[in-house]
Amino acid sequence: MYLSTFDLFKIGIGPSSSHTVGPMLAALTFARALGERGTLSLTHRIQVDLHGSLGATGRGHATDRGVMLGLMGEQPDTVDPDFIEEQLEMMRRHGTIALMGSHGVAFNVAEDIRYLPAPLPDHPNALTLSAFDATGVSLSTQTYYSVGGGFITTDVTAAPVTDRAAPPYPFDSGASLLAQCHQSGLSIAELVLANEMAWADAESVRSRLLQIWKAMADCVLRGSMNNAPLSSGLRRRAPDLLRRLQADAAKSDDFLTSMDWVNLFAMAVNEENAAGGRVVTAPTNGAAGIVPAVLHYYVDFVPGAHEDGICDFLLTAAAIGMLYKLNASISGAEVGCQGEVGVACSMAAAALAAVLGGTPEQVEHAAEIGMEHNLGLTCDPVGGLVQIPCIERNAIASVKAINAARMAVRSDGGHKVSLDAVIRTMRATGADMAAKYKETSLGGLAVNVVLC
């Protein structure tokens, strides 16, 4: 499978790529298929079954909202977050849902979406959609697996199929990535760009990268200004932190103030994500604040930062994310939060090392440090919401990524633990981790903290 940078960075909505965006895409795919088979107009009822982690924490992760929006024909990258609640309220009031925006069928949210915490055998994140005609006869039934980062599949055991042409510099491990850099004389960013150009011209790639950066920056801005409380009643902290930093800007001589700004950037994104706003999966929604925060650090605090550097940052981060997607997982329900925040920290550390002038070896070292010290990180969201510990965790991991990058670029690039070794370790650790620590809200903080 040949992954693209834009598989890792996708514009969508909060609060979860696996629990909101993935189910939304699955429902959209299901509704489209009904239309393509000519059975949309015959559909009288829709049944949605949420299995495993989707069933256990789907309410807190807005899985129901994602599914309903997908059935209505909405897409994660184009739906307007400001009008989502208005759309859903109208649907609830009338008791009908317009499949693909055109064919209305009766829909009772309380009865037609069922939460079934028992997982299916193949993956902890699964949903089954069924369509029936007026006599109750099944028109279609399909199970989808939401495997993290907004990716969905109908068969987790099958090798992913792609119609992309083979890129000039394929890699599937840290070792092969470094070997390709040595043989070609290209940096990691240049190598990934060359691969992207097998599928699009350079100007299109650059334009899309800057569009991703703009979406990230816009999210930081919105999250820094929005004072509306989160769904749990939790108070947003980013707007208050922004006011304090602005007030202290003229008088502060604290050389760590830049880290306060990084905390702001990360929390602003994840508070916006928790509210269901527009975010960029990087590589997931739960970890969406880390890459933007560290990229903001580059833009705001690294002398000589420029647009080419922004593109190099995103291309390098994507290369590292691809390795985790190919060889382990980016799903909290599969391997815990090490697969989300840990991967994002690794991606951001590598990317910053690259734009700080690091060699490919130093970049790989930064990525390894970023993950090594997130190994075993559990996913235990309080109340099934992407709020505690997720919001603070993004801020902590952003600072950790900056430190990892700085350590790596001040080394000679040599190190005992390879990125490939730490990815294998992460995958094995995730397999050994108890299910209650993998996005079920049945362990950890989720059972020791009560949201009021």
Q: Under a CB-based contact definition with an 8 Å cutoff, are residues 138 and 132 in contact?
A: yes
Query: Nearest 5°: phi and psi at 80?
Result: -90, 110
CA R_g for the chain: 22
Question: What is the torsion angle, in degrees rounded to the nearest 10, for the CA atoms of residue 37, residue 38, residue 41 and residue 45?
Answer: -20
Exposed, middle or buried by CB within 10 Å (0-12, 13-18, 19+), for 54? buried
Which domains does the chain show, CATH number per domain?
17-153 (3.30.1330.90), 174-198+200-437 (1.10.4100)
Q: Under a CB-based contact definition with an 8 Å cutoff, are residues 271 and 327 in contact?
A: no
261 token code pair: 């700004």
As a whole number of angstroms, the distance between CA 126 and CA 26 comes to 10
Tens-of-pLDDT digits for all 452 residues of the chain? Answer: 799 999 999 999 999 999 999 999 999 999 999 999 999 999 999 999 999 999 999 999 999 999 999 999 999 999 999 899 999 999 999 999 999 999 999 999 999 999 999 999 999 999 999 999 999 999 999 999 999 999 999 998 887 667 789 999 999 999 999 999 999 999 999 999 999 999 999 999 999 999 999 999 999 999 999 999 998 899 999 999 999 999 988 776 788 899 999 999 999 999 999 999 999 999 999 999 999 999 999 999 999 999 999 999 999 999 999 999 999 999 999 999 999 999 999 999 999 999 999 999 999 999 999 999 999 999 999 999 999 999 999 999 999 999 999 999 999 878 999 999 999 999 999 999 999 999 999 999 999 997 75
Query: H helices of 234-306, where?
Result: 238-248, 257-274, 290-301
Name residue 233's amino acid: G
263 token code pair: 């905390």
Tell me the pairing of strands 113-116 and 45-52.
parallel
Q: Under a CB-based contact definition with an 8 Å cutoff, are residues 291 and 340 in contact?
A: no
**pTM exceeding 0.85:** yes
